[in-house]
Amino acid sequence: MSGGQGRIGLVAGLASPRTTGAPARGRRGAPGPLAERDPVASVVVAVGLAHLDRPFDYAVPAEAAETAQPGVRVRVRFAGQLVDGFVLARQPQSTHTGALTRLAVVSAEPVLTADVARAARAVADHYAGTLPDVLRLAVPPRHARVEAETPPARVAAVSPAPTSVGAQPPGAFDALRSGAAFLRALRRGQGPAAVATLPAGTDWPALLAAAAAATSAARRGSLLIVPDGADAERVAAACAAAGVGALTLTADLGPAERYRRFLAVLRGQVAVVVGTRAAAFAPVAALGLVAVWDDGDDSHAEPRTPAPHSREVARLRAALAGAGLLVAGWARTAETEQWLRDGWAHPLQAPRSAVRAAAPLVRTVGDDADLAQDPAARAARLPALALRTARDALDAGPVLVQVPRAGYLPGLACAGCGAPARCPHCAGPLSVSSGHAVAGCRWCGRPSGAFRCPTCAGTRLRATRVGAGRTAEELGRAFPGVAVRTSTGAARLERVEPGAALVVATPGAEPLPGPDGYAAALLLDGWALLGRADLRAGEETLRRWLAAAALVRPGARGGRVVLVADPAAAPAQALVRWDPAGAASRELDERVALSLPPAVALAELLAPEPALASFLAELVVQPALAQGPAGPATVLGPVPAEAPHGGPGADTAWARVLVRVPREERDRLTRALAATLAVRSARKEAAARVRVDPAAIG
């Protein structure tokens, strides 16, 4: 955002002598001199009120003339209080006719670069948010001791291997149609956009490293965004092997180390940054590539306002910087499929023959042959086919068992009537944490050994959901003498050594196998994934299955996958054919027919019922909505909703509505939302909590 754009003095109602103030005075009461050159600074203040989402002008005192540069942190008086802010620009004069309050420089380090400021403004507009809210995500809190380190401490970066810069792992892009052309464009400093759908067994960290190495050959930087810290370490190591030094930047670093690494990027010590969504705004100089791995992973969705998604931040940053964009994964989301249909990005995928050769053999339970041998195959959690496949595969290597949930028995119900088992004290769900534990409440922690169903007075419990712990116990009894290991998000295994072993893992926590891959995989409880009441249930289920099956060796080398799910379900059929592109195309077709995102633009509004009604009444008459080419927006709801954390008490009834407009008119929806939020903020009236393009629609 340009520093001069939208500059005004303090608005009426705030423009009191205490707010704008008289010029700052020295110790003897005389006003201190101002900077001789460009004595006015345009400052964004850290006030997240929608009607104050614009720069304000402040006077630059002479002693801060050299340090009050664009990007530095300052402290300013605003509405009678001292607040933080960033200088966006300096100019010779202000449009404000009164006296300007003077700013004070907190640090001379220009932590907000012009590129990041523009990207933050674009993200705020894209999600109907405010610039200060986005800057809280983009710039980490200051750590004075780290900033004062002289010379700057060496950051914990992964050093490049002793190979030539620009080298790439052989075959990283060779298997993909147009992959070589994509790399050539990056080496020339161009900005291609591509969606890569990878065949099983692809070394995806090497693929991202090859793209970063090609970008480095053009003397431009790269930003590689992955779901978690373990993935970031793998990609950084692959970059080192490709001859490019990389730095990891993740949210789980301590405040000091995170700020140290942020400064290393800011000061140009590294040109390749690998990180989680917290690194999406990293100030990489001469940005030439933004890559996102597995954009369907919910870790890419930021929960804090305005809830941006890494995929969209990457797209906006690449567009503003003229950089290349690469979104890669085993699966393909409906959003990236829409990019391909629009011609905004190009597909990178292997020929079908290569995809089939790399994929393991996938079998579903419940076909005629299985039913002849095991009449209960469709109802069994561990049917004979799965047990037989695991037994045969253990001679060749480890077997992966994917279970949707962690824990032991995370869901219980009355054995008589089937009603969910609830805690008599707080009505929380009951669960069992181990084979020797009694049922207890997951909310308040109280044990509930003397259960009595309030519906039928039954006293017996049955499991409705089985977790990784119980599954490991069952497999241990079925395969005596075989090592059984578990891996969950809370206790994740990084790697599994070759040899006979059963590895029970939740989705996303699958350990890496040896170079030969897993001998087989059992994908259990498919109904639990497919049965979720969520728009993305099918897409997310296929993504999780593909991620696990991609770790299994090819079918030609004996790799087998057994899927315990409805074989007629579309995700199951897509896994059998290993056709994520076709599944994404069908998913998008269905959403177009039903007017669901990304075929349309959608905003979720959540507020107490009276406030939501008045907010909606003001929103729908906004010119940006009422006078759009397609007419008024479509309002779906209201429906009852749970109050978010931090909202009014439980006695307040909350409601939710969805506001829908055609996809090409998304900008008018966000403008109308921002305008309504600003008007109500200025009047100090309650506003709805807004989520544009919400990650989940239940």
DSSP string over 213-270: HHHHHTT-EEEEE-SSHHHHHHHHHHHHHTT--BEEE-TTS-HHHHHHHHHHHHTTS-
Specify the higher pLDDT residue, 399 or 407: 399
Pairwise CA distance, residues 287 & 591, whole Å: 34
Place of tokens 């993305």: 536
Given this model, what pLDDT does residue 650 score?
53
pLDDT exceeds 50 at position 11: no
Q: State the chain's mean pLDDT as an integer.
A: 86
* pLDDT over 70 at 640, yes or no: yes
Cα separation, 611 vs 677, in Å, equals: 12
Would you say residue 278 has pLDDT above 90?
A: no
Instruction: Say what the pLDDT of residue 467 is.
Output: 76
Give yes or no for residue 313 having a pLDDT over 70.
yes
359, 199 Cβ separation under 8 angstroms? yes
CA dist., res. 557 & res. 490, Å (int) = 33
290, 324 contact by CB (below 8 A)? yes
pLDDT over 80 (residue 506): yes
- Residue that wins the pLDDT comparison between 52 and 625: 52
**Amino acid 79: pLDDT:** 87
Band (pLDDT 50/70/90 cuts) for residue 86 is very high
Burial 62-71 (b: 16+ CB within 10 A, else e): eebbebbbbb
pLDDT of the residue at 631 = 60
- Domain annotation for the chain: domains and CATH numbers: 1-110 (no CATH), 179-355 (3.40.50.300), 360-591 (no CATH), 600-692 (3.30.70)
In the prediction, which pLDDT does 154 show? 55
pTM score: 0.87
* HSE, side-chain direction, 13 A CA sphere, residue 341: 17
Give the Cα separation of 62 and 419 in Å (integer): 73
pLDDT at 430: 82
Instruction: Indicate whether 641 pLDDT > 60.
Output: yes
Mean pLDDT, to the nearest integer, of 18-36? Answer: 51
Q: How far is CA 334 from CA 13, 330, 571, 591, in A?
A: 47, 14, 14, 9
Average pLDDT over residues 355-379: 69
pLDDT tens for each residue of 512-532: 999 999 999 999 988 888 887
Q: Which of 105-119, 350-364, 449-463 comes out lowest in average pLDDT?
A: 449-463
Which of helix, strand or coil describes residue 209? helix
237-272 burial string, b = 16+ CB within 10 Å, else e?
A: bbbbbbbbbbbbbbeebeeebbbbbbbbbbeeebbb
The encoded tokens of residue 38 equal: 């460009």
Cβ contact 399:519 at 8 Å: yes
